[in-house]
Structure 1
Amino acid sequence: MSEEKPKEGVKTENDHINLKVAGQDGSVVQFKIKRHTPLSKLMKAYCERQGLSIRQIRFRFDGQPINESDTPAQVLKKHRQNQIKPCGS
């Protein structure tokens, strides 16, 4: 039996990842984002939803700062969690 591989250009379930953004107040907002989409998209959406300015907060993953240009694939390569925490400045 041969193992089938996804055809080129065909989206698979692994193209997306569910991430949780946990606020300092204990609130959690869940996002579904493509693995190679810059996290700036998630950061901006979170700030709009919470009524915050992106300049007011910092996002961290496992205690380490996250850059807007980072992607979930880059960040998760080092860690196996799926929760991002914004920190007030």
Structure 2
Amino acid sequence: MEYILLFVVGQDGMITRFRIKKRLPLRKLMNTFCDLFGVVPLQALFAYNGLVIQGTDTAASLEMHDGDAISVYWAPSIITPN
């Protein structure tokens, strides 16, 4: 299985690295990011090249390449305490 290195950039500018399978639904990456940072998954918006990422999307379906960045946005009021 082919892997890809992606960077998730939070609205605070913090960058988190993920190495995932290209055909793995991005829901797993999104949920892992939310768990790490205490963000409510249903209230976080992940975007790539101006498009909102759906949980069923994959790096392959979005034609992502090694080193590409995903942006994530959330409101401070929806962050859960750790």
Q: Same fold, TM exceeding 0.5?
A: yes
- Structure 1: gaps (5+ residues): 1-10
Over 3 Å counting, the alpha-carbon distance change for 1:17 and 1:81 in structure 2 is closer
- How much identity, in percent, do the aligned residues show? 35
Higher RCO (Cα < 8 Å, 6 or more apart): 2
TM, length-normalised to structure 2: 0.83
Pair 1:31-2:18 in alignment: yes
- Structure 2: gaps (5+ residues): 76-82
Partner of 1:56: 43
In the TM superposition, residue 63 of structure 1 has moved relative to its aligned partner by: 1.1
Q: How does 1:38-77 map to 2 (within 5 A)?
A: 38-76=25-63
In the alignment, residue 12 of structure 2 is paired with which amino acid?
A: D
Q: List 4+ stretches of structure 1 deviating above 3 A.
A: none
TM, length-normalised to structure 1: 0.77
